[in-house]
Structure 1
Amino acid sequence: MSKKAYSYIRYSSPQQAKGDSYRRQFSKTVEYCKENGYELDTDLIYKELGKSASKPNEQKRLKKFIEDCETGRVEKGSLLVVENLDRLSRQKINIAMSQFLNILEYVDIYTLQDKKLYSNSDGNDKNQLIDIITSLVVMSRAYEESETKKLRLKEVWQEKRDKIQVKKINSSYPHWLTVSEDCKSFIIKEKAADAIRKIFELCNNGYGFSQILRYLNNNIEKYPTPSSRSKTGLWVRSTIQLLLSDRRIIGEIQLYKGAYKEKVAQGEAVKDYYPKIVDEETFLKAQISLKSRSIQKGKIGKYSFSNLFRGIAVCYNCSNVLEFVDKGKNNKRTRRYLTCTDAKRGGSCNVSTHYKYDELELMLLHLISENGFLPVKVDPSEIEIKIQKNKELKKSAENKLNILIEQDFTATAIINKIKDLNNEIDFLKKEIKELEDNLEKVEIKYTFEDLINEMKNEQDEDLKFNNRIRLNSYLKNKIKTIKIAKLHNIYMNFTMIDNSVYDAIIDIKYNLGGCEKKGDKDFKIKKLNGTENYSIDIRSWSLIKSFNLIILKYSDLMLGLENKNKNEEDLNDIDKLNKEINRVNLLISNFIKKDNDNSNDFEKILTEIMALYNLFK
């Protein structure tokens, strides 16, 4: 019966996967086994592809082989075939030798390159001694070669770093540049640079990835894709995402230690290494713009983001999400609504009201304009750009600190550097807080007209799409939920991220709306159309607000009676209550229609409202 043989194949870098290393090692193993009567186990091929033998943590398959030897899965006395001993280890001689002898306890080892068989079963002590001395020499040489190679590479890279501003590293540079013949400067590829500038321009004007992608591909002759390997010859979303965050565009290069997944930033980023394609302010504005555009999953149209309440509007009755419904136009009137998802699908909620969307959006835009309770700020200011820059510096310092924390704490230089980084982080935190406080004081707020122009009247559909997305993202960062109810008017209950609560009422019939914070005497009112008259408007608002409290009481009462068997007395009481509500509502209507400034009439109606309110006690 043929003895079993097992193969261990290793190479160090991913680049070797593109070459012949694996095929060469495996084919030689197959050839040797065939010529010498071994049965190669092709089910158990132990391979470390792109792994270093000088890093024991990377050789997981070799450890698995040793475990299989210990458990008996690998037959004792069988053969392990490797290209050379340095495939097993390039560690220090004591570690490599210990591992080598451990393997020999279970199997023989054959090295293809020098055609050497190492065996523990050979009864000749002299042969065993020669084998051990030979293996020591081979493994010692492998370790020394590995260390020498590391040292040379380190010296070469250190020289390149030291001369980085004199002589450019010509082995790698971004696609929008080429290196000069003397390697002392980079030359900009203007067509590629124009495309990058256009990407940043579109991003800072409110365009998202999809819209930028569409724009570039519609103008592909002017802005050709940077990838020569693209099958379609078109731009892809991932390229745009990478470019918008690539600091090489503002001239920086970050040098790294290590390779691939293990690479670690080495030192500070070198500024002004590459020629700048855009300035730092433009780059930072793009980062701010990207952060303001988070969109949850859901359906959106190619050119439309219809629902500004998306992700925050819920049913007042059951707290389920309000769904946007667009039934198109009828007699030149849009039929767009918000409605309870639970009620629409036949759930337990019985409030199937269709809230007219345009009325709700109009009220929302009033509430978030310069005179509202949640004013939206305009494009990034100098303060906001400074905040973004400090946040990036803070992140960089935190990354360096995390790397140092894993180092030797007994080294004085490391202890001092950790202290310096902690101080830098604390300083940046304090400065960011001060800048954010100043931003609240100086930021310019949108007027209602600005919001109408950007959210509704903007002719560029792509730009309007992105304006609405950004506003929705802003709202979701400020608001937990908006509970919406339709009584005799539209009622919106806002719960903010800080748990403060605002009540807003809009009465389209009277072109008047208002908002107040719970537990606060301060409130805001707005005449939606017509001439404002504060003394009249404040009285009208007081009547609408007080009447709305009654309607809420009435709504709660009717929900409580919904599943109750109502007798004739109950029905009479409800009928009487409805008549009183309609009577008081008519008094309020007449008062507001006439722009009545008569305090006596106002007091009489307020008394009627209080009497109606008492009926619910």
Structure 2
Amino acid sequence: MTAKARVYSYLRFSDPKQAAGSSAERQLEYAARWAAENGMELDATLTLRDEGLSAYHQRHVKQGALGVFLLAAEEGRIVPGSVLVVEGLDRLSRAEPIQAQAQLAQIVNAGITVVTASDGREYNRERLKAQPMDLVYSLLVMIRAHEESDTKSKRVKAAIRRQCEGWVAGTWRGIIRNGKDPHWTRWEDGRFELVPERVAAIRLAISMYRQGHGAVRTVSALADQGLKMSNNGNVATQIYKMIRSRTLIGEKSLEIDGEEYRLEGYYPALLTEPEFAELQHLAGQRGRRKGRGEIPGLFTGLGISTCGYCGQAVVAQNLMGRARKADGRPQDGHRRLICVGNSHNSGCTVRGSCSVVPVERAIMNYCSDQINLTRLQEGENGSTALAARLAQSRAKASELQSQIDRVMDALLADRDAAPAAFARKARELEALLDAEKSKVQGLEHELAATAGTATPALADAWAQLATGVEQLDYEARTQARQLVADTFSRIMIFHRGFLPTEETRTIGILLIAKHGNTREITVDRRTGEWEASTTISGLPAGDIPVPDSFYQ
């Protein structure tokens, strides 16, 4: 059966309140009458409505019904000869005239007629070919529509800019209607107030994030307690966006024509500056959230566990499908540590793997002794070291900016120079500068977090979690994972011992603390009992002697 051409009606309102008027009813009546008079059928099943979507910013195309219609027309799913009824051409677009006319041309070239209800004009290939001045008229309408929206946009931006400058100067306090306000606030009696039930949900989500829980588990916990972060409920991705938002410290951020305004104290704050800095430090740490498995890894997945023989990553492999212990836990030997360099045949020459259980047991017991933990953490003051690294990174960023400036000056001074080479060099330097700026921001957050927190976790914090870690308790292991991430910059695993042999009964572990201190322990691969090893430090990972029998 051949599909028939139909009449479609498209409605768009930049402000949803406009839909409450009678213009929508008038247009639908017009579309129905036009269809009847021309012997066509109005498609009442396909609703083309974009309420609250701007045609000036093209949101109705990027995320609205018009974008869907344009795609359908481009793919030939709208039968040629069909008709699209709109109130006026400004409903289709208020973008720059050349872009607006391109969208009209896209519809017309698909064999679709555009009918404007406001003046009864029809735009299709045959009519525009017969009356070219209609094309000129459409362009004039689009120019006027764009200028109106552009003028309004500039006035609105100027007003918002004045409000922002007044807020920063302390001469104006009021609501700035730009962007969305956080769901945990509401405007009451001339000021923002916190919504208690929303605040409870946000605080629980932040607390679970700090403990290392993933978004899915957090959403489940919120549901169990009947808490909602917003009127739309709880969305996992919303959590990661929320923890990055400076609205948590009461700040509203706006950008107007490339200029950023930060309005401090605009909202009631949920977190202090040090608490927010600590949260950003956690958010910036790779692998801080636990993986998908039912057993949170103690140190794998954090980007810190490496093979002592080749320096590549050590990962966990849980063989959950095999026979378990009487209490339902997997057998110790079914939870393994494997070097990806060996498993993927990418350079590691030491075959085999080891159980993760003795390694976890040794690390927990080692850190549960305050003397061991103090020796591991003592040394260069953390804040001093961070400040030095921050200064170095800022200096490097400044030098990169100077290099970019010199490249641009040279390009402007020598018009005969190869512009492509200069541009390529400028892009390379800009990429390096962006990376260095990101590093500076991360160090600033880490320094602020260090300044706002007490001393590193004491040994009793480890000791209290040791039993839960052994019993595979989810909460205990998640908290212990955070302690590991806070304490160590790297954990190197020598699964056949520091000096590997076929018959070795030990596992070597090199613990490298955040401040650079190292401790080497030898672990019984069966019991997990450990002892301080005879030092072999000073040998890079690749220089540790490996017997020929381990080469593949």
The two structures share one fold, judged by TM-score above 0.5: yes
> Per the alignment, in what secondary structure is the counterpart of residue 467 of structure 1?
helix
Cα 1:162–1:180 shift into 2, 3 Å: farther
The structural deviation recorded for 1:512 is 4.2
The whole-number CA distance in structure 2 between the counterparts of 1:238 and 1:156 is 33
- Which digits, 9 at most, give the CA deviation of each residue in 1:312-334, with x for residues without a partner? 59999xx996647895479xxx9
Alignment of 1:115 onto 2:120: yes
Alignment of 1:32 onto 2:34: yes
- Could you say which residue in structure 1 is the equivalent of 2:419? none
Alignment of 1:86 onto 2:90: yes
Counterpart amino acid of residue 112 in structure 1: A
Considering only aligned residues, what root-mean-square deviation do their CA atoms show, in Å? 6.7
Cα 1:423–1:466 shift into 2, 3 Å: closer
> Per the alignment, in what secondary structure is the counterpart of residue 255 of structure 1?
strand
The whole-number CA distance in structure 1 between the counterparts of 2:478 and 2:158 is 50
Match of 2:294 among 273, 293, 299: 299
- Could you say which residue in structure 1 is the equivalent of 2:163? 160
- Could you say which residue in structure 1 is the equivalent of 2:247? 248
Alignment of 1:268 onto 2:261: yes
The structural deviation recorded for 1:28 is 4.2
The whole-number CA distance in structure 2 between the counterparts of 1:95 and 1:118 is 17
The structural deviation recorded for 1:476 is 9.1
Q: Give yes or no for contact 2:253–2:262 (8 Å, CA) kept in 1.
A: yes
- Could you say which residue in structure 1 is the equivalent of 2:12? 11
Cα 1:336–1:193 shift into 2, 3 Å: same
The structural deviation recorded for 1:190 is 5.4
Cα 1:227–1:310 shift into 2, 3 Å: closer
- Which digits, 9 at most, give the CA deviation of each residue in 1:347-381, with x for residues without a partner? xxxx9999593576226753897758994699x97
Cα 1:55–1:516 shift into 2, 3 Å: same
Alignment of 1:468 onto 2:468: no
The whole-number CA distance in structure 1 between the counterparts of 2:306 and 2:270 is 43
The whole-number CA distance in structure 2 between the counterparts of 1:99 and 1:207 is 47
The structural deviation recorded for 1:435 is 11
Cα 1:116–1:353 shift into 2, 3 Å: closer
The structural deviation recorded for 1:73 is 7.9
- Could you say which residue in structure 1 is the equivalent of 2:408? none
- Could you say which residue in structure 2 is the equivalent of 1:478? 490
The structural deviation recorded for 1:390 is 10
The whole-number CA distance in structure 2 between the counterparts of 1:53 and 1:386 is 47
Match of 1:145 among 135, 148, 162: 148
- Which digits, 9 at most, give the CA deviation of each residue in 1:438-471, with x for residues without a partner? x99xx97777666334434799977633322225
Counterpart amino acid of residue 169 in structure 1: I
Counterpart amino acid of residue 10 in structure 2: I
The whole-number CA distance in structure 2 between the counterparts of 1:510 and 1:102 is 74
Q: Give yes or no for contact 1:53–1:87 (8 Å, CA) kept in 2.
A: no
> Per the alignment, in what secondary structure is the counterpart of residue 295 of structure 1?
coil
Superposition TM-score, scaled by structure 2 size: 0.57
Q: Give yes or no for contact 1:387–1:435 (8 Å, CA) kept in 2.
A: no
The structural deviation recorded for 1:489 is 3.1
The structural deviation recorded for 1:282 is 1.5
Further displaced range: 108-117 or 47-56: 47-56
Counterpart amino acid of residue 161 in structure 1: C
- Could you say which residue in structure 2 is the equivalent of 1:402? none
Cα 1:489–1:285 shift into 2, 3 Å: same
- Which digits, 9 at most, give the CA deviation of each residue in 1:96-117, with x for residues without a partner? 6798799889776532222234
Structural mapping, 1:495-506, within 5 Å: 505-506=522-523
> Which ranges in structure 1 are unaligned for 5 or more consecutive residues?
258-263, 343-350, 398-408, 411-417, 522-548, 561-617
- Could you say which residue in structure 1 is the equivalent of 2:272? 279
Structure with bigger RCO (C-alpha 8 Å, 6+ apart) = 2
Match of 2:536 among 517, 537, 545: 517
The whole-number CA distance in structure 2 between the counterparts of 1:31 and 1:488 is 90
- Which digits, 9 at most, give the CA deviation of each residue in 1:468-517, with x for residues without a partner? 222555699624654247946323366999xxx99853457997441533
The whole-number CA distance in structure 1 between the counterparts of 2:35 and 2:522 is 86
The whole-number CA distance in structure 2 between the counterparts of 1:356 and 1:107 is 66
The whole-number CA distance in structure 2 between the counterparts of 1:207 and 1:111 is 55
Counterpart amino acid of residue 186 in structure 2: T
Cα 1:421–1:153 shift into 2, 3 Å: farther
The structural deviation recorded for 1:252 is 0.7
Q: Give yes or no for contact 2:393–2:439 (8 Å, CA) kept in 1.
A: no
The structural deviation recorded for 1:14 is 9.0
Cα 1:388–1:320 shift into 2, 3 Å: closer
Structural mapping, 1:199-214, within 5 Å: 200=206
Cα 1:201–1:450 shift into 2, 3 Å: closer
The structural deviation recorded for 1:160 is 3.3
Aligned-pair identity (%): 18
Q: Give yes or no for contact 1:284–1:385 (8 Å, CA) kept in 2.
A: no
Alignment of 1:451 onto 2:462: yes
Structural mapping, 1:53-68, within 5 Å: none
Counterpart amino acid of residue 535 in structure 2: E
Superposition TM-score, scaled by structure 1 size: 0.52
- Could you say which residue in structure 2 is the equivalent of 1:525? none
The whole-number CA distance in structure 2 between the counterparts of 1:170 and 1:320 is 50
Structural mapping, 1:399-548, within 5 Å: 451-456=462-467, 464-471=476-483, 473=485, 478-479=490-491, 481-484=493-496, 487=503, 489-492=505-508, 505-506=522-523, 512-514=531-533, 516-517=535-536, 520=539
Cα 1:277–1:48 shift into 2, 3 Å: closer
Q: Give yes or no for contact 2:362–2:530 (8 Å, CA) kept in 1.
A: no
The structural deviation recorded for 1:118 is 5.6
> Which ranges in structure 2 are unaligned for 5 or more consecutive residues?
339-350, 399-410, 413-426
Q: Give yes or no for contact 1:4–1:41 (8 Å, CA) kept in 2.
A: no
Q: Give yes or no for contact 2:308–2:493 (8 Å, CA) kept in 1.
A: no
- Which digits, 9 at most, give the CA deviation of each residue in 1:108-139, with x for residues without a partner? 653222223467867999xx588578656644
Structural mapping, 1:385-404, within 5 Å: none
The whole-number CA distance in structure 2 between the counterparts of 1:122 and 1:206 is 65
- Could you say which residue in structure 2 is the equivalent of 1:261? none
Q: Give yes or no for contact 2:337–2:353 (8 Å, CA) kept in 1.
A: no
Counterpart amino acid of residue 357 in structure 1: V
> Per the alignment, in what secondary structure is the counterpart of residue 516 of structure 1?
coil
Cα 1:8–1:244 shift into 2, 3 Å: same
Q: Give yes or no for contact 2:521–2:531 (8 Å, CA) kept in 1.
A: no
- Which digits, 9 at most, give the CA deviation of each residue in 1:135-176, with x for residues without a partner? 566445433433343234334433433444523226553344
Cα 1:199–1:517 shift into 2, 3 Å: same
- Could you say which residue in structure 2 is the equivalent of 1:362? 362
Structural mapping, 1:167-186, within 5 Å: 167-169=173-175, 171=177, 173-181=181-189, 183=190, 185-186=191-192
Counterpart amino acid of residue 11 in structure 1: R
The whole-number CA distance in structure 1 between the counterparts of 2:217 and 2:476 is 11
Cα 1:97–1:267 shift into 2, 3 Å: closer
The structural deviation recorded for 1:281 is 0.8
The whole-number CA distance in structure 2 between the counterparts of 1:493 and 1:376 is 17
Number of aligned positions between the proteins: 465
Cα 1:352–1:66 shift into 2, 3 Å: closer
Counterpart amino acid of residue 506 in structure 2: I
- Which digits, 9 at most, give the CA deviation of each residue in 1:190-217, with x for residues without a partner? 5655665566566557777677667766
Q: Give yes or no for contact 1:483–1:492 (8 Å, CA) kept in 2.
A: yes
